[in-house]
């Protein structure tokens, strides 16, 4: 990993290049951020923070990698000077990993990486999105591929349905689309935290995503979490979901669905404390633990049938 200025790969594990089970793919893309900047440095800071994350996963009941192989890919680089050119490259990157046997986890970078990831997969895929923002704008400041339009463009690129949780910052345009589009299912943060009905709303979220059929991409914009947990993200918003809400979403998805890929994005390195990047690293680690648990259960089931 020294070509990227890093001592080792994600979680400090030995980098497995030969037929990995999971691939960590750093995508330091930042072209359309509209408030705070620094997501271009998010992947590096997340990987560095991961070196301090515990390897034991309570669902896996083992230490990662638990006999499996994890590969941290070289950082995505580009010589394309245009937005379209860079998005095309990310789409090709996603396509290449989609055709590989490894489960890909993309680390951003701004949320604008989502549409090209969906384009690269080329399947009728459902997106589960944790986010503060609906990201359903038609454009922002004249740019339709702004990070503020990520979910809208993901649907244009082939996503057949969108399930969102934690949403608490959105425009009238986005609110109207959420009301009218039967393929968009949104759980607003204010409902999740309602003083009497909040737990019912949250349980409904978990029950609803558990019923999704077909391939699923899990997209976690870390600003979906409360700003107290991730203050250095690109556009922090108070009133977000907790870390455990995010963990429950990840665990429910992997226990019930065909999750084919994931991304964790909008990470900005925090200077005074590593809380933001450490929280992001823990979310990536939880995704890894759930995927390895799924792989192990599948292997044990196959062995029992032979």
What does DSSP assign to residue 164?
E
Domain extent at residue 220: 2-305
Q: Give the pairing of strands 258-265 and 103-108.
A: parallel
Q: Where are the beta strands (DSSP E) in 38-99?
A: 56-57, 62-63, 70-72
Of 155, 148, 128, residue with least CA distance to 246: 128
Residue-by-residue pLDDT tens, the chain, 306 positions: 444 667 789 999 999 999 999 999 999 987 655 454 678 899 999 999 999 999 999 999 999 999 999 999 999 998 887 888 999 999 999 999 998 899 999 999 888 999 999 999 977 999 999 999 999 999 888 878 787 899 999 999 999 999 999 999 999 999 999 999 999 999 999 999 999 999 999 999 999 999 999 999 999 999 999 999 999 988 889 999 999 999 999 999 999 999 999 999 999 998 889 999 999 999 999 999 999 999 999 877 667 665
Half-sphere exposure in the Cβ direction for 182 (13 Å, CA): 0
| Token duo for residue 184 | 């968009």
Q: What are the CA-CA distances from residue 72 to residues 26, 43, 44, 216 (Å)? A: 8, 11, 11, 22
> What is this structure's pTM?
0.94
Q: Quick check: 23 and 104 in contact, CB under 8 A?
A: yes
The domain total for the chain is: 1
| Token duo for residue 201 | 């709303």
Residue 129's domain is classified under what CATH number?
A: 3.40.800.10
């Amino acid at each position: 990993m020294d070509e990227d200025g890093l001592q080792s790969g994600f979680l400090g594990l030995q980098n497995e290049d030969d037929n990995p089970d999971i691939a960590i793919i750093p995508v330091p893309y930042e072209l359309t951020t509209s408030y705070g900047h620094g997501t271009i440095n998010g992947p590096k800071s997340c990987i560095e923070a991961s070196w301090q994350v515990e390897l034991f996963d309570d669902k896996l009941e083992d230490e990662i990698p638990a006999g499996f192989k994890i590969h941290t890919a070289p950082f995505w680089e580009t010589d394309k000077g245009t937005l379209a050119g860079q998005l095309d490259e990310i789409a090709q990157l996603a396509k290449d990993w989609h055709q590989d046997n490894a489960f890909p986890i993309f680390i951003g970078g701004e949320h604008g990486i989502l549409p090209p990831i969906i384009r690269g997969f080329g399947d009728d895929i459902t997106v589960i999105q944790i986010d503060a923002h609906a990201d359903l704008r038609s454009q922002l400041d004249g740019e339709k591929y702004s990070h503020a339009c990520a979910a809208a463009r993901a649907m244009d690129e082939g996503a057949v349905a969108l399930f969102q949780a934690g949403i608490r910052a959105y425009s009238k345009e986005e609110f109207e689309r959420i009301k009218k589009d039967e393929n968009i299912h949104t759980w607003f943060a204010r409902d999740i935290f309602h003083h009497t009905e909040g737990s019912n709303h949250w349980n409904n979220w978990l029950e609803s995503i558990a019923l999704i059929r077909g391939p699923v991409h899990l997209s976690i914009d870390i600003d979906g979490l409360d700003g107290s947990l991730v203050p250095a993200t690109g556009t922090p918003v108070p009133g977000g979901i907790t870390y455990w809400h995010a963990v429950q979403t990840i665990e429910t998805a992997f226990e019930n669905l065909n999750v084919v890929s994931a991304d964790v994005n909008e990470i900005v390195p925090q200077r005074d404390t590593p809380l933001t990047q450490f929280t992001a690293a823990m979310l990536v680690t939880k995704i890894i633990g759930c995927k390895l648990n799924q792989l192990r259960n599948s292997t044990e089931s196959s062995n029992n049938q032979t």
